[in-house]
Each structure stands twice: as structure tokens, then as C-alpha cells.
Structure 1
Amino acid sequence: MAVAQETAPPAWWRRPPAVVAVVVLILGTELVIGWPALAGALQQLRTPAWNWVAGAVIAEIASMGSYARMQQALLRGAGTSIPVRRHVALAYAAHSLSATLPGGPVFSTAFNFRTLRRYGASSAVASWSIALSGVLSAGALVLIGAVFGILTRSTGSWRTLLCYMAGALIVAFLVRLVARHPQWLMGPARRLLSGVNRARRRPAESGHTRLTTFVDQLRSVRVRPADLTLAVLLAVANWLLDALCLWMCCIAVGATGIHPAPLVIAYCAGMAAASVPIVPGGLGVVDAALVLGLVAGGLTSASALAAVVLYRLISFGFIIGTGWLVWLIMRARAGTPRGVPA
């Protein structure tokens, strides 16, 4: 008969009470050290300049509108016309799913795709539009960071900007080339699909017909240069208007000791931190990056903290809350799309 082996008790630092005590000790120490800055931030938040707060809200709404119009320009250039109000509603709802749910980008992409299909876009056009929207948005943020980094003399010379621009042009050229010749992807895509089928113990040819149909649809996608140019400009406007919201939040709490270029650099650092999906909405990660960037740009800790809290109340609280309300309305009108949690 087998004799059960006694397991050794876990080390003291692995026991739940010890972990809780260490966390409470760290948070308590941080609260004591940062209490003067926190008290100053709370004092500034009690009496903000409400006209600047209203301006920040308008800038954030305009930022969301720019993103929606960017996606509209891409779809219109591909031959699919959807009213802008539907794009705006979709932008709010998809953003809220992405920012608040665990694994939000997956749910957001599925919701975006199925909604565009319901609005009349083909599978290829919807997939292409969602993918290119992400590429343009990320490229615009990199370009903005490079330009303002040069303006603050923190990234060498104009040759740095030229390298970024050359990289962006190469990516745009490759995307356009692949869009014109999607059959180039057929071989690798078929091999990948066959490998997935083997892993799932399905026939090797399963799904190949649908893949061929999708590529045939993608081959018909042609975007007019004017619409693509407009989409690029709207992608840049989306980030700059969001940064304008942060700047107005600084003014609203009386934090006027920072120039636009360092502020945009701090903003780009915060948005880069948001791209790492550690926690929903980047809570804590984005805020810390923004505060550190604003302090490095010349603000006091109290002013930077107050400005970031106000900015996050608008860009996260107000926009996300509105997005969930829009999602509930869309769900009530059309039913919950598959792949999105009820």
C-alpha cells in the first residue's frame, strides 16, 4: 500500500497573511511618503476651472469622433458607405469593451467585426479595415512621439525623424502591396491552417475553401489615395486631441508650468504604457507613466497627480461609461453579437 508523503509547509513569505502584510506595509509606506503630493492634488481638484474642464471633455469627444471618421474613411475608400453616427457609436462601444474586459481587445475586435458585417461590409473589408485602423493608429502615435521628441531635443537630430518617416512609408508600401496581391499570402496561410487542423485533429483541408473565398474578396479591396490620406490625418488628430484634453486638464487644476512638447512626450509615454495589457484600462500603469512624465516636464507632483486624475476621469470614466451605455443600446436594438459577453 502506498504511503502518502507529507508535504512541507510553505515558506513564510508564501503564506497569505505574510503576503497581505507585505502589501499593506508597502502601500502604507507609499501613502506616508506621497501624502503631501496627494493632499495638494486633492486641494487642486476641489476647485478646478470648469470652463477648461468643459473644453477637455469636448476635446475628448472630438478625439473619439476622429477615430470613428478614420474608420469611416477606410471603409468608404473600400467601397462600403456607413453613416458616421454608426461609426461613432461603434467606436465608443468597442473602446469600452477593449478597455475594461479581461482580454478586452479580443472581445472588441469580434464585436467590431460582427457589427461591420451587420452594417453591410464584407468579411474581407471588415477585417482589412480593423487591421489597418490599428496600424494607422499605432504609426500615428510613433510619428507624434518622434516629432515632439525632436522638438524637445531628446532624440538626436532630424535624421531620427527621417528614419521614422521612412519606416512608416515602408510599412504603408508593404501594406498596400499585400492588399493588391493577397494571393501572396495563400501559401503561408494554407500551411498555417493545415497545421492548426492537425493540432485540432481535423482534416488538413478543412477551412481552405473559406480561406480562398476570403482572399478573393480581399483582392477586390481598393482604397482611393484621398481616403487613405484622410484616414492618416484623422489618426494623427485622434491622438493630438486626446493630448489636448490632458493639456486642458493641466490648465484646469492650475498646472501651467509645462510646455506643449514635454506634455506630448509624457502623453506618448502614457499611451505606450497602455499598449501593455497588464490590467484593464491600464489603471495604475498609465497613471504612473503620465505623472512621471509630467513631473519630468516641469510640474510639481501635486499638480501632475491632480491633472492626471482629472484627465482619467474624463478619458476613462466618462468615455468608458458612455461606451457601455451605447453598447447596451446597440445590444437592445440588434441583439448581442456572437463572441461578446452578455
Structure 2
Amino acid sequence: MTVTDGLPVTGGRRLYWQLGVTGAVLVAAGATLVAHRAMLDSGTDRLATADGEWLVLACLAALATWVCAAVAQQGAVTERLPRGRLVAAQFAASAANHLLPAGAGATVVNLRFLTRCGLSTGRSATALAVKAAVGGIVRCVIAVALLVTSSGTVRLSPRVPHLLILLPVAGGLVLLAVAVSGRLRRAAARFLADVRDVHRSPARACALWGGSVAFALLHAGVVVAVLHALGLGLPTGRVVMAYLIASGAAAMLPTPGGLGSLDAALALALTASGAPQQTALAAVLGYRLLTGWLPMAPGLLVLGLLARRSAL
């Protein structure tokens, strides 16, 4: 790896690529919004007249997501973390995640927080990897459970079986890369060692897995509650599946907080699940408002406060 003016070339190229993709997605999202401005205005009007009680429930579900993220993060490490600052760090990480691409904001905040709590940089990074891996596994398991238990309610695209064939292929490629690269073997060894340490304690394992399950379901619950507030009672399993598909698709594009990519994917998934386009757009606006836009300013204030107190 070469270094130019203190910046690794590979890291700089990766950053430029992420920023380029982010800009392209945001421009495409802006063009789509302009092209569908009438529908956007209609969706905003529908959200303004939505059922207040369901919106309060959606707001409570959004607030609980940060607590669940803190529980899962505590479960990913063996050391005891300060509870109040841990929850505050998750709140701040959520705000930072909307400023940098590909979840980099949340990763940086949590990495800094864990190192400030006494963990080494390597162990902090491994703990974040454990949490992310469990989160991905949980979403896949929930999706499979919905497919098995909701026959006729959740419909699969004919292309899904073909896509599922790619999963073992991708897994095989990952294992091959780990076997070939000495650095990846060492990272995998540290990862597995931390996984074993965490699962030696039933309480830690329950926190890690339970917090990850609750985090995913509460995010989907926000969408369910917003749809009910708009007067549309789609089957809960169908809405949860739509959210899981949309969030998985959005993770492939490195936009800040899934801005643009998650919005478009979730609107399409809800429309495919039976929601009218205007209602789907209004639901996406409500979800984004409660989980991203409204918490951003206070989240950044908490981020600054944690930094001033040397918690980050």
C-alpha cells in the first residue's frame, strides 16, 4: 500500500468510490422526488392527517430501537459498559450514520466509544463485527421464519430461488479468501475467539441475540404502526418481510443512513405487498421522519456532549 500526503491510496480510492456512489444515488433519488412531486405532496398530506395514537406508538418503537442496539452491543463484549453512556452512544451513532456512507458514522462512534471504555482497537472492531454478523443472521432467520409460517401471506418472487443459490457460493468465496489470506485468518481467529467468549455467558448471549432480534422487529414495527396510522392494515408478516427485503437491498448501496436507497426500496416493497403508491410513500416518509430526521439534531448534540466529556 502506498501513501500520498498521509492518505493511503487504497483507502482514498475506496472513500472516493463510496462518495461517488452516494452522490449518484442521492441525485437519482432527488430526480425521482421531483418527477413524483405531486405524489410526494399527497403522501405528506396523508401523513399530516394520520391517526395520532398509532404515530405515538411508532415513535415509542423508534425510541426503543436505540435501547435494543445498546443491549446488543453490551452482549457483544465481555466487559461491563456504562449503561447510560452506552445508550447515548447508540443515539449519537444513529445521527452520525446519516452523515457518512455505508454505516461508517455509526461504526466510528461505536469504535471510539468502546476504546474509551478500555477495549483495544482490535477487540472493539471485533465486537462491532460480531454485532453486525448477528444482526445479519437474525434478519435472515426472521425472513425464513416468515416464509415458513406465513404461507400464502408472504409471496416470493420467482427469482428468489435463483438468488438463494448464490448464498452458498458467496459463503464459499468468503471461506476461500480467509484460507488464502493470512491477515484474514488472524482476523477470523480473533472473531471466533470473541464469539466463544461471549457465548460462554448465557446472559451475554441473550443480550446479543435478543437485542438484535428486537432491534430488527422494532424498526419493522415503526413501519407497521405508521401504516396503521394511515388507515392501511396490511398483514404484519408481509410488512415485516417488506422491511427486511428493503433494508437488505439498501445495505448494498453506501448511502448515508440508507438515504435514497432505503426509501426507494421500502416504497417499492410496500407497493409490491399491496399498499397504494401514495400510502407507501407516506409510510416511508413517516418511518424516515421518526427514525432519522427528527432524532438527527438531538443526536448530534448528544454526540458533541459525549465528545466534550471524553466518552468518545
How high is the TM-score relative to the length of structure 1? 0.66
Question: Which whole-Å CA distance do the structure 1 matches of 2:33 and 2:104 have between them?
Answer: 36
Question: Which whole-Å CA distance do the structure 1 matches of 2:110 and 2:58 have between them?
Answer: 27
For 2:67, the equivalent position in structure 1 comes to 65
Q: Tell me how far 1:97 sits from its aligned partner.
A: 2.0
Tell me if 1:222 matches 2:197: yes
For 2:129, the equivalent position in structure 1 comes to 131
Q: CA RMSD in A?
A: 3.6
For 2:240, the equivalent position in structure 1 comes to 264
Question: Which whole-Å CA distance do the structure 2 matches of 1:90 and 1:28 have between them?
Answer: 33
Q: Tell me how far 1:29 sits from its aligned partner.
A: 8.5
Deviation by residue 1:282-326 (Cα, 9 ceiling, x = unmatched): 222211211121122222111111111111100111233332121
Q: Tell me how far 1:51 sits from its aligned partner.
A: 1.6
Flag the structure with larger Rg: 1
Identity level (%): 26
Question: Which whole-Å CA distance do the structure 1 matches of 2:309 and 2:296 have between them?
Answer: 20
Query: SS of the residue aligned with 1:99?
Result: coil
For 1:84, the equivalent position in structure 2 comes to 83
Q: Quick check: 2:97–2:103 contact (8 Å CA) kept in 1?
A: yes
Deviation by residue 1:187-238 (Cα, 9 ceiling, x = unmatched): 812999xxxxxxxxxxxxxxxxxx9xx96xx689722241213311210110
Q: Tell me how far 1:64 sits from its aligned partner.
A: 1.6
Tell me if 1:188 matches 2:182: yes
Distance 1:74 1:145, change over 3 A: same
Distance 1:296 1:91, change over 3 A: same
Q: Tell me how far 1:136 sits from its aligned partner.
A: 0.7
- Supply the AA of the counterpart residue of 1:259: P
Q: Quick check: 1:255–1:304 contact (8 Å CA) kept in 2?
A: no
For 1:154, the equivalent position in structure 2 comes to 155
Query: SS of the residue aligned with 1:334?
Result: coil
Q: Quick check: 2:98–2:105 contact (8 Å CA) kept in 1?
A: no
Deviation by residue 1:36-93 (Cα, 9 ceiling, x = unmatched): x445323312212112111111101111211111111222xx2x11122121111122
Q: Quick check: 1:266–1:293 contact (8 Å CA) kept in 2?
A: yes
Tell me if 1:329 matches 2:299: no
For 2:210, the equivalent position in structure 1 comes to 233
Q: Quick check: 1:249–1:310 contact (8 Å CA) kept in 2?
A: yes
Q: Quick check: 1:96–1:320 contact (8 Å CA) kept in 2?
A: yes
Query: SS of the residue aligned with 1:267?
Result: helix
Question: Which whole-Å CA distance do the structure 2 matches of 1:73 and 1:248 have between them?
Answer: 28
For 2:228, the equivalent position in structure 1 comes to 251
For 1:100, the equivalent position in structure 2 comes to 99
Unaligned runs of 5+ in 1: 1-22, 175-183, 193-210, 338-342
Question: Which whole-Å CA distance do the structure 2 matches of 1:30 and 1:219 have between them?
Answer: 49
| Matched length | 263
> Mean alpha-carbon deviation: is it higher for 104-113 or for 136-145?
104-113
Question: Which whole-Å CA distance do the structure 2 matches of 1:104 and 1:42 have between them?
Answer: 28
For 1:30, the equivalent position in structure 2 comes to 35
Q: Quick check: 1:125–1:221 contact (8 Å CA) kept in 2?
A: no
Distance 1:40 1:86, change over 3 A: same
